[in-house]
């Protein structure tokens, strides 16, 4: 009898230890996702319920979210960091119980496979906050995609309010292979979203293969959306010149061809003036600046194929010809 009691006591301790280990693993796995731009950004304070969903990947109850039936025109932004995520024109009724979108603002949403491999999680590309899950093949819309998003993960900015309070500005930079250009800008303070594509050519919606032929006139370009309340176009220009060889003509490092030319596509006269200011600063220092200035108004930005977007982030790598060096 004594031996049996001893055995039961031993098993109880083993189970207790095992449960403690499992609890530790679960807690470790449930820690907030690290944001993709470092820890130098200030985020909005979250309520306990918002933390449960955004930081610890919870789900709000279906048909309870405040944005489920919202039909106003405007933009849905991340509740934690205010990054624009979705436009109202991409929202549709799926009757699933959560807000549904068939497209996101380019570069704003990151897809991450769930640990069990059964679903694809979507998180804010800027802060890593949990949004929900994405599903394909359901044929709700022509895009055949449904971003199923928790209302509590977002805030809605009406179109009229956006016009009055918008702090988002766009910049277009070409500095060789767009993988490397985007790598540095997507990590910069104040940058809300980035995407890579083609600009400056004469072919509509060109493919990577067509651009690589050198016959379309396009250059590999990175589109950057940045928050003017946190940074400036001047800071973007500095980073641009500090991350590529702006003296090289017809290429960048080992990448040779007109599609790798150093080009700034300015969106307004202020951007043009700032670009000219820094070209003069560098010229006065003795550099032969090869950067071309072109108006973005005369050249449409065509987004590149999905596998090019946030390339080094997906591959866990670093650029081979874009190395940071402090100049300013």
What is the domain-level CATH number for residue 273?
A: 3.30.1060.10
> What's the pLDDT at 9?
38
**DSSP states along 177-194:** SHHHHHHHHTTSTTEEEE
Q: Which of 160, 190, 205 is the last residue of a domain?
A: 160
pLDDT (tens digit, 9 = 90+) per residue, 3-35?
333 333 334 344 333 443 433 333 334 445 444
Do 176 and 115 have their domain in common? no
Pairing state between β 262-266 and 292-295: parallel
Q: Which of 155-164, 179-188, 231-240, 294-303 has the lowest mean pLDDT?
A: 155-164
Residue 181 has pLDDT above 70, yes or no: yes
Residue 136 shares a structural domain with residue 181: no
Task: Answer whether 152's CB lies under 8 Å from 58's CB.
Answer: no
Per-residue burial over 42-78, b if 16 or more Cβ lie within 10 Å, else e, is eeeebeeebebbbbebbebeeeebebbebeeebbbbb
Q: Which range of residues forms the domain containing residue 152?
A: 48-160
Residue 32 lies in a domain: no
Torsion of CA 172, 167, 188, 149, to 10 degrees: -100
Residues 213 and 194 in one domain: yes
pLDDT in tens, 56-66: 999 999 999 99
SS3 137: coil
Kindly give, in sequence order, each residue whose CB lies less than 8 Å from that of residue 282, ignoring residues fewer than 6 positions away.
241, 246, 289, 327
Together in a domain, 295 and 171:
yes
Looking at the annotation, which residues are catalytic?
148, 177
Instruction: Check whether residue 171 and residue 307 sit in a common domain.
Output: yes
Q: Is residue 104 part of a domain?
A: yes
Is there a single domain that holds both residue 63 and residue 191?
A: no
Domain boundary among 160, 194, 229: 160
74, 191: one domain: no
Whether the CB-CB separation of 73 and 163 falls below 8 Å is answered with no
Name the domain count of the chain: 2
Query: What's the pTM value of the predicted model, to 2 decimals?
Result: 0.58
Give the whole-angstrom CA distance, residue 80 versus residue 129.
Answer: 7
Q: What is the mean pLDDT of the chain?
A: 87
Domain end, chosen from 136, 160, 184, is at: 160
- For residue 139, give the CATH number of its domain: 2.170.150.20
Evaluate whether residue 327 is within a structural domain. Answer: no
Q: Identify the three-state secondary structure at position 325.
A: coil
210 phi, psi to nearest 5 deg: -65, -40
Sorting pLDDT into bands at 50, 70 and 90, what band is 320?
confident
DSSP β-bridge partners for residue 217: none
Residues 186, 276, single domain; the answer is: yes
């Amino acid at each position: 009898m004594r031996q049996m009691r001893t055995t039961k006591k031993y098993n109880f301790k083993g189970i207790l230890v095992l449960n403690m280990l499992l609890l530790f693993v679960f807690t470790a796995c449930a820690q907030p996702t690290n944001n993709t731009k470092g820890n130098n950004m200030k985020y909005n304070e979250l309520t306990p319920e918002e933390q449960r969903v955004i930081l610890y990947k919870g789900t709000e109850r279906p048909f309870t979210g405040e944005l489920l039936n919202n039909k106003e025109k405007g933009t849905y932004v991340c509740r934690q960091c205010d990054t624009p995520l979705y436009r109202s024109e991409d929202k549709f009724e799926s009757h699933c119980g959560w807000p549904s979108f068939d497209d996101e603002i380019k570069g704003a949403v990151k897809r991450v496979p769930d640990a069990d491999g059964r679903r694809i999680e979507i998180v804010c590309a800027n802060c890593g906050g949990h949004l929900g899950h994405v599903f394909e093949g359901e044929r709700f819309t022509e895009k055949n995609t449904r971003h199923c998003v928790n209302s509590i993960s977002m805030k809605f900015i009406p179109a009229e309010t956006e016009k009055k309070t918008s702090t988002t500005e766009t910049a277009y930079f070409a500095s060789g292979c767009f993988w490397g250009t985007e790598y540095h800008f997507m990590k910069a303070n104040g940058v809300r979203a980035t995407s890579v594509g083609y600009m400056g050519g004469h072919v509509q919606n060109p493919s990577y293969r067509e651009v690589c032929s050198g016959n379309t006139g396009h250059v590999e370009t990175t589109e950057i959306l940045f928050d003017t309340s946190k940074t400036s176009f001047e800071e973007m220009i500095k980073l641009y010149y500090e991350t590529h060889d702006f003296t090289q003509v017809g290429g960048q490092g080992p990448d040779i061809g007109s599609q790798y030319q150093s080009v700034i596509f300015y969106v307004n006269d202020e951007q043009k003036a700032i670009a000219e200011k820094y070209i003069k600063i560098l010229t006065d220092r003795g550099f032969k600046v090869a950067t071309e200035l072109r108006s973005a108004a005369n050249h449409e930005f065509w987004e590149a194929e999905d596998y090019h977007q946030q390339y080094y982030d997906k591959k866990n790598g670093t650029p081979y010809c874009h190395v940071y060096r402090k100049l300013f």
